[in-house]
Chain A
Amino acid sequence: MSRMPDREELRKVIASRGLAMTVEEAEKLSGYVDRMPTPLEFHLFDTMWSEHCSYKSSKPVLRTLPTDSPGVVIGPGEDAGVVSFCRHEGVEWDLVVAHESHNHPSQVLPVEGAATGVGGIVRDVYCMGARVTGSMDLLRFGDPEGSKGEITRGIVRGVVEGIWKYGNALGVPNMGGDTEFHPGYDDNCLVNVVAFGVVPHDRIVHSFVPEEAHKEPYVLILTGKPTDDTGFGGATFASADLDGEQGMGSVQVADPFLKRVLSEANQAVLDMLFEKGVKFGFKDLGAGGIACVTSELAAHGGLGIDVDLDAVPVSIKNLPPEVIACSETQERYGLAVPASVADDILAVYNEKFELPRLFPHCRAAVIGKFNSKPVYNVVCRGENAAETPINYITEGVVYQREESPVETKAQEPAERPCDPSSDLIKILTSVSGCSRKHIWSYYDSEVQGVTRLRPGEADSCVSVPVEGSRAGLAVSGDGNPWYGELDPFLGGAHAVGEAVRNVVATGATPMCATDCLNFGNPEDPEAFWQFKQAVAGIASACNALGFSGGNYPLPIVSGNVSFYNQSTGGKAIPPSPIVAVFGKIHDHRKATDIILRKEGNLVLLIGTRKDELGGSLFYRTCLKHRGGTVPVFRGSLEKKMADWVLGVIHDTRAYSVHDISGGGLAVAGAEMALASGKLGIEFSLDSNPVTLFSETPGYLVEVDPRFVEDVTLPEFVSVAGKVCSGCKVSGNGWSVDLGSLRGEWSDKLASIIWREEGF
């Protein structure tokens, strides 16, 4: 072990161990340890230097995103972002938000992949000390009726099943999300997951060993599911192209039952530690398992650590040290605590919550000791399994990738025939335009008793997460792949814009955003250009849509990059920036939904319609045309519209509000009528495709007829029609009875996707 290996030897190790690192990276590692690295060292660095963990391609680009705003408590860098949320009875409450992808596992094993997606993201929020009060899923699937329709339908059903089986059992309300279909996802679906929770400001927990560990002995406690070999190489799997069913063994197995018990046990431990007044570090185990959690807790606190793998509770005997250290067994956490309180903590997990009784081989155990020597030292069965200068582990790598623009020319259709009634019906009964109700009907959106508005009732779900406080939290996640493929910059900008509008439409003021950037192979200059464009679009929109006053942007506080979303055939997904926006409404009682209230009320149009139907539902569904000019992102107008709508809602003069996005004004109006059941809208506008179906951002707001006498409307607001009786929508020369269409609109998705199950 003392000799430096040559390139050929390293190449052999990489091949035989299935590592993703390059020979150059392996040489760098050998230099760090000054010998042939151990298997554990190879796997540890392979994970740490994977795209998934190191952001080696994306880091320089991500630095261009705005992250600073007065409300930000913790920006990108830790497991989750934190912003200040509300003050209630003398306690400052913060909101903790996290967002990531679980794309590859969900394509290969949809149920388990989607379930562990939820499991992983909630851990990121829990480990900041927060209670998780909601989750959301942003799903992108292939064409369910296309050439790979049968596989796609199976994936959709599996993903939905994984989400409900995990999330419902965990007791975290599902706050919806969105689902889009595009043939570009035929070989690579996207499962982006968002989780959020609240924590008193003085109880935020950090993911590093505290300074006190320099003065008194600190140990590392591992708690949760006994370690097995599942998910070994998971981060590496996430950082490679997807080929058939390869990588199945890299998918972890989730256990929401254990997670639920652990979450309560963790809360009890945290309560005890805060009561004792001791400082501690807390981190979930995700990519890279024990190796990452132990090295990162130590390194980020400026210490070294001795890890004893023989002390790790395992469910399979005689696993090699690199598997124990690097497997991604779910439902585990690491705690850095003073040695003096270790026994008390073990008692909470092992006795009060009886982990060993609830799950075979499950228990909390001390597996490591922090020390001041900056070395990551791992022992297994009396042998050194790793001995590495610790700062190298977290140092990371950065690559400057090449970029090359992808030329797309806005190709408008030759003709635009339009029959408003039949076109509207076509859109509402298309897989893109129909209701997502069947998906939500599997999700528990009301556990915890904090839900104010559920999926489908308003543009975003709203909850009241701090007991006794009126502060409402609105969340929405968006990203339009049809825009992304035509113009990645606008794909990014409108992802922010639409999520902002969805939050604003409920009366909530956007506080912060998270992003998940899903793209192809970053080593492909065109894919990397798309990535850069989309990030620039997000940055530009965030800079225009800050609501904290001054010149502050809407800050991106957490996120994730997912590259290599393509089959080995080389077909990448459409550029898919997906953005979640979190808004606050001071008084949740004022929150608005999309349900029309009163016959005779006026419907205002906010945002003048423009001829920009590229990527629109109308072009795609009615004209079978995929090109065209994507709506311009008008940042300052978007901000003005949002401020105006928020004002109307806060003055309690808005009866219902719906944003205009996919399908345009006609679809927005129809959705309000469909949600209401008994009322509809008579539009008094021109019946041309631009007015009815252009997706120029905007809103519809229902107000009392007196409103227009009391208030001078700004130039971007006009009267579009009025509320009428009956579930219908009509305009000059056309009318659609939505009452009779409601069943089809509501069941369409199930009749396509769940057909194999007899729907």
Chain B
Amino acid sequence: MPRAAVIRFPGSNCEFETARALKNSGVDARIYNWNDIGKLSDARADAYVLPGGFSFQDRIRAGVIAAREEIMDLVFEEAMNGKPVLGICNGAQVLLESGLVPGWKPGSVQGALAGNLAPGRSGYLSGWIHLKAGPDAIQKCPWLCAMGTDSIPAPIAHAEGRFVFREEDMGKVGGHIGLTYCGVDGSAPQGWPENPNGSVLDIAGLMNSEGNVLAMMPHPERSLHLWQVPPDTPGHWGDLRRNSSLKDLEENPGPGAVIFKSLAKHLGVE
């Protein structure tokens, strides 16, 4: 069975459900502490996941201190070797701060996750939005390769989720779009709240050039099962959620499962 490493920094808080989500898709998962460098190095995992949370209390900037932890050298090396690496929420912030995504100059910070921009409010926002895969993402990204072209609902919970880039780099960003926010029917978002944080180009997930590293703000590990979908969700997933039998409610995957199924598919799990 392929193995994934979930890396816990001080202040991470989604490591358990993230490991559960991986196992659920047939990928063995183990949680490593930030200082388990030797153990992680020996393990040579097949994939790496940086879970959500508030690593190092978001001191200075979300993700910036974790990105400079020694354990990230190992993740960096593995990413450069083409191993799949996923950062969810705070994990995405760490990936941006480590220069792995967008990765134009690996190791140098080329983009940022800035504070949410929303009309009349600041700070944290929790809720469900809709997502779809970027144009090249399904081919390129091991975390999205099982995704269809339809939109899926997904939960978000963050205060700094707005992807921003230098103006001179904007022309290059398009090729890195892993996931975008969208309307229920997959159409471009009509502002807030469909794009919940003001992210440029409606980006919800950003890849490196090769596509093996994905930094995403939504939380697929919280929408693993159909029963986790809110009953008032619009569209296809909402209909499924409201009208399923008890058996289906328990056994059917939720919309977020596809992220982990993609990895399993990529790693050859039947």
Contact = CB atoms under 8 A, between A and B. Distances in A.
B122 A595 contact: no
B120 A757 contact: yes
Contacts of B219: 446
Given A169-B57, A590-B246, A597-B242, A442 B230 contact: no
Most buried by A among B33, B224, B230: B230
Interface string A652-668: 10000000000000000
B148 interface: no
B121 A451 contact: no
Given A442-B124, A595-B232, A757-B121, A452 B157 contact: no
A257 B157 contact: no
Contacts of A260: 10-11, 13, 53-54
A417 interface: no
Interface string A163-195: 010001111000000000000000000000000
A442 B123 contact: yes
A411 interface: no
Given A261-B11, A457-B231, A589-B249, A164 B16 contact: no
A750 B121 contact: yes
19 contacts: A168-B54, A170-B13, A171-B13, A256-B54, A257-B10, A257-B57, A260-B53, A441-B127, A444-B157, A446-B155, A446-B157, A449-B16, A457-B231, A457-B232, A588-B227, A589-B246, A595-B242, A757-B121, A759-B121
B140 interface: no
A691 interface: no
The 8 closest A-B pairs by CB, nearest first: A171-B13, A449-B17, A759-B120, A257-B57, A589-B246, A169-B54, A446-B222, A444-B157
Contacts of A447: 13-14, 17, 52, 157, 222
A137 interface: no
Contacts of B35: 352, 354
Interface in A235-269: 255-257, 260-261, 264
B124 A595 contact: no
Interface in A547-594: 587-590, 593
A161 interface: yes
Interface in B143-164: 155, 157
Most buried by A among B20, B54, B221, B243: B54
Given A652-B246, A675-B232, A750-B120, A443 B126 contact: yes
B32 interface: no
Given A447-B157, A595-B231, 17 more contacts: A161-B123, A168-B124, A169-B13, A169-B54, A257-B10, A257-B11, A257-B57, A358-B10, A441-B125, A442-B123, A446-B157, A448-B16, A449-B21, A449-B221, A457-B232, A676-B232, A677-B234
A106 interface: no
A467 B20 contact: yes
B99 to A, nearest CB: 24
Contacts of B53: 169, 171, 260
Interface string B100-143: 00000000000000000001111111110000000000000000
A595 B238 CA distance: 11
B250 interface: yes
B165 interface: no
A677 B232 contact: yes
Nearest to A468: B20
A277 interface: no
Contacts of B13: 169-171, 260, 447
Interface residues of A, number: 51
Interface string A90-114: 0000000000000000000000000
Contacts of A171: 13-14, 53
Interface in A683-730: none
A52 interface: no
Interface of A: 161, 164, 168-171, 255-257, 260-261, 264, 352-354, 358, 440-454, 457, 464, 467, 470, 587-590, 593, 595, 597, 652, 675-677, 750, 754, 757-759
A265 to B, nearest CB: 10
A267 to B, nearest CB: 11
Contact of A452 (B16, B126, B228, B234): B228
Contact of B54 (A257, A467, A750): A257
Interface of B: 8, 10-11, 13-14, 16-17, 20-21, 33, 35, 52-54, 56-57, 119-127, 155, 157, 219, 221-222, 224, 227-228, 230-232, 234, 242-243, 246, 249-250
A692 to B, nearest CB: 25
A757 B222 CA distance: 31
Nearest to A354: B35
Nearest to A352: B33
Contacts of A168: 54, 124, 157
A754 B121 contact: yes
A442 B224 CA distance: 22
A448 B17 contact: yes
Contacts of A597: 242-243
A467 B24 CA distance: 12
Nearest to A588: B227
Contacts of B250: 470, 589
Contacts of A164: 123-124
Nearest to A255: B57
A264 B16 CA distance: 11
A257 B58 CA distance: 9
Nearest to B225: A449
A83 B80 CA distance: 51
A68 B36 CA distance: 47
Given A354-B35, A589-B246, A590-B246, A454 B123 contact: no
B209 to A, nearest CB: 32
Contacts of B120: 750, 754, 757-759
Contacts of A587: 246
A593 B241 CA distance: 12
A759 B123 CA distance: 13
A754 B121 CA distance: 8
B260 to A, nearest CB: 12
A400 B242 CA distance: 56
B155 A452 contact: no
A169 B11 contact: yes
A676 B232 CA distance: 6
A584 to B, nearest CB: 17
A675 B242 CA distance: 13
A444 B13 CA distance: 12
B90 to A, nearest CB: 10
Contacts of A677: 232, 234
A352 B249 CA distance: 40
Nearest to A443: B126
Most buried by B among A171, A260, A758, A759: A171
B232 A449 contact: no
A457 B230 contact: yes
A449 B20 contact: yes
A279 B115 CA distance: 48
A392 B228 CA distance: 52
Given A444-B157, A447-B13, A675-B232, A452 B123 contact: no
A593 B14 contact: no
B246 A261 contact: no
Most buried by B among A168, A449, A464, A754: A449
